[in-house]
A and B are shown apart, each in its own frame.
Chain A
C-alpha cells in the first residue's frame, strides 16, 4: 500500500498508532500520584518528541545512508526557525507559509554548505560542517542582529506588518500561530477517573507532518537513490569506477536532510514563535548525532526512538530533585537513606547528561546497532524460546526495521 512493501507499511502503521495515541501512552500514571512526574504526555514535550523525530529522520538520510557525519546540522534547524518567525512577522500567523519558507531557505543553505563541505570526506567533512555551523551561530548572535535579534533572539512584536493577517488581536495581544484559525496552543482535556489526557492541536499538526516525513524517508530508503547512498557508504571508489558520480548523490542527500532540519526548525517556531541563536550551537548539532546513533543509524525507526528517549530524559530526569529522592528511599534506615540519595543525586536534575552519557556508552559498546538492535535481539530471544518447545530454533531473518 502507498507503494510500500508489507513490512514497511506495518512499520508506518505502528508509528502512526504510537504517535496518534501518544497522549494516552505517555500518561500512564494517574494525576496526583507519586509516579505522575514520569508522565510525558504534556503538549510541550510531545511536540518536542515529534519535532526532534523529524530532525533525526532527516539527519539519518545523510549519516545513516551515506556515512557522512555532519556536525553542523543544527545550523539548518536554526535557519528554519528564523525563516518561520520572519514569515510570522511579515506575512501572517498561518503556519503553512512559515514552514514552507523554513524548508526552502534551509534547503538553499544546505546546498551552499554542502557544496563546499562535500569536497572532503571523513573527519574533514565533519569539521567543515562544524565550522560552518559555528560561523552561522556567531553571525546570528552578533553581526546579523538586525535579522536574528542577536542575544535576545527573534521575537514577534505588536508593530510587525503581517500584511495578510491581523497585526493585533482584539484584546491588544500579539496573535498566535494557527492553521486557518486553528490555534496551535489550543488543547482539549479529557479526564478519565484520576487520569488526565491532553490533546493539543500543535502536537497533532506536528505528528501528521512527522508521519509524512517518515513515509517519505521509507520511500527514499527503498529507492534506487537510497541504494546508491548505501553504496557510497560501502565503497565510494567502486561507485566512481562503476560510472556513477558520487558528488551529486551526496549533495542531494545533504540538501534533503538539511530540508528536514529546516522543517523541524519551522515547526519549532510554529509551536512557540521565537528563534534564538542557541538553536544553532554545536551542542544542538551533537544532540541529533546522539539521537541517531542511540536509536540506530541507518535504520528507519531508530532515529525516532533515539529522539524520543533523549527528549524524555532531558525533560523528566532533569525534573527529579533531592526531595523526590528522599521520598523514594524513605523506607531505608536514616543513614543509608542519605547515602543512597548522595549516590544517585549526581545522575538526576542537572546531572541528566551523566545518565545519558552512561546509557550512550552502554549502547555503543553492547548494541552497536542502537536501540533497534536491542529490540531485535529481544524479539529473537522470545521467538527462540517459543519455537524451542515446538520445533528446532530457526534464525530469524527479518530485515532491519
Chain B
C-alpha cells in the first residue's frame, strides 16, 4: 500500500516550470530516495508535501487524505515529520527541552494552554523524551544548550525530535549536506538503524550517492521537473538515462 501518492503535480515560478506532471508513489515501510541534478525540482517537490508550497496542478495524498491547502502544523499532525537541509532545532533551549516539545505536540495536539502545570510534573513526556535521547546516544548531553553542539549532533537531535512523534512518514532533505565524512557516516548508521528497527516510511532527497545507495530501497530520478525513471538501486546505477542526466553523456 502506498503511504504517499503524488499525481500529476505541476508547479510554476514565473517563467520557470519547476515541476511538471510528477507522478510518484512511496510504499509503506520503504526508504525511497529522490535524486537528481541541481535544479531538478527535488526541494520544490518536498515543499509541496509539507504545506510550504501548494502545487498549481495535481494532487498529493498522504495515507488516504489530501495534504493540499493544509498548513505545516496540520500536515505534521497527520504524521509527516520533516528534517531540514540545515538542521532546524530550538537553539536557545536545552537538548531535553528540544526533545520534549515534539512529545507535547504528539500528546496534546497543535495547541494546549498548559500554563500552570510545571514541566517537571509531566512524567510521561519526560520519560518519552528520555527514551528517545537514549536511542540517539545523547542522554549525557541533555542539559546542554542545543546551539552549542556540532553540526552532526544537531542533525542527530533533529532526527530524534522527529522520531519522538512516531511519524508515519519521515522526510529528509539532504540530511548529510555540508557534513564532514565522519559525521556523514554516523548519520548513515543512524538512519540504517531507524530503517531496520522502526516501522517508518522514509523519503530522502540526497545528492551524495554514497548515502543514497547505503539506504534506499527505491530510487526516483528527477530531471528538469519530471521523474525520469524509478527503480531499485541496482538498476539505477547502470541506467543509461540516469547517466545522461547526471553526467551529460549521450548514449
Q: Which residue of B lies closest to A229 (CB)?
A: B115
Per-position contact with A for B65-92: 1 when CB-CB < 8 Å, else 0?
Answer: 0000001110011000110100011111
B223 CB–A CB distance under 8 Å: no
Q: Give the shortest distance, in Å, between A351 (CB) and chain B (any CB).
A: 38
Contact partners of B106 in chain A: CB under 8 A = 243
Give the residues in chain B near A248, CB-CB below 8 Å: 111
In the bound complex, CA of A352 to CA of B100 (Å): 47
| A3 within 8 Å of B (CB atoms) | yes
Contact between A224 and B119 (Cβ–Cβ < 8 Å)? yes
Within 8 A of A (CB), among B107-136: 108-120, 122, 125
Query: Per-residue 0/1 for A216-256: is the Cβ within 8 Å of any B Cβ (1 yes, 0 no)?
Result: 00011011111110110111011111111110110010001
A5 at the interface (CB under 8 A from B): yes
Closest B residue to A4 by CB, please name it.
B118
Cβ of B19 under 8 Å from chain A:
no
**Once the chains are docked, how many angstroms separate the CA of A103 from the CA of B31?**
55
Chain B residues near A245 (CB, 8 Å)? 71, 73, 110-111
A-B pairs with CB below 8 Å: how many? 107
Q: Within the assembled complex, what's the spacing in Å between the Cα atoms of A298 and B229?
A: 53
| A contact residues around B112 at 8 Å (CB) | 224-225
B50 within 8 A of A: yes
Q: Check if A244 sits within 8 Å of B120, measured CB to CB.
A: no
User: Interface size (B, Cβ < 8 Å)?
Assistant: 39
Report the Cα distance A237→B93, complex, angstroms: 15
- Is B104 in contact with A224, judged by CB distance below 8 angstroms? yes
A3 near B118 with CB under 8 A, answer yes
The answer to whether A224 and B161 have CB atoms under 8 Å apart is: no
Query: For residue B115, which residues in chain A have a CB less than 8 angstroms away from its CB?
Result: 219-220, 223, 225-226, 252, 256
Closest chain B residue to A298 by CB distance? Answer: B92
In residues 75-128 of chain A, which contact B (Cβ within 8 Å)?
A: none
A249: which B residues are within 8 A, CB to CB? 111
B152 on interface, CB distance cutoff 8 Å: no
Interface string of B181-225 (1 = CB under 8 A from A): 000000000000000000000000000000000000000000000
Partner of B118, one of A223, A235, A241, A242: A223
Residue of B nearest to A397 (CB): B143
Given contacts A223-B119, A225-B115, A241-B76, contact A235 B102 (CB under 8 A): no
How far does the alpha carbon of A240 sit from the alpha carbon of B108 in the complex, in Å?
Answer: 14
B105 within 8 A of A: yes
Assembly CA distance A248 to B97 (angstroms): 20
CA distance A224 to B116 in the complex (A): 8
Chain B residues whose C-beta falls within 8 Å of the C-beta of A233 in the assembled complex:
92
Q: In the bound complex, do residue A5 and residue B76 qualify as a contact, i.e. CB atoms below 8 Å apart?
A: no
Find chain A residues with CB under 8 A from B165 CB: 242-243
Which of A4, A230, A237, A243 makes the CB contact (< 8 A) with B77? A243
| Contact between chains at B90 and A238 (CB < 8 Å) | yes
* Residue in A222, A246, A252 with the greatest tally of chain B CB atoms within 10 Å: A222
B88 near A244 with CB under 8 A, answer no
Supplied contacts A220-B116, A234-B92, A235-B89, 14 more A-B pairs, CB within 8 Å: A224-B100, A224-B108, A226-B115, A227-B101, A231-B97, A231-B101, A234-B93, A235-B88, A238-B88, A239-B90, A239-B101, A242-B76, A243-B110, A244-B104
21 contacts between A and B (CB under 8 A): A5-B120, A219-B116, A220-B115, A222-B120, A223-B115, A223-B116, A224-B100, A224-B104, A224-B119, A225-B114, A227-B97, A228-B101, A234-B91, A234-B92, A234-B93, A241-B72, A241-B73, A243-B73, A243-B76, A243-B109, A244-B111
Q: What is the interface of chain A, defined by CB distance below 8 A to chain B?
A: 3-5, 219-220, 222-228, 230-231, 233-235, 237-246, 248-249, 252, 256
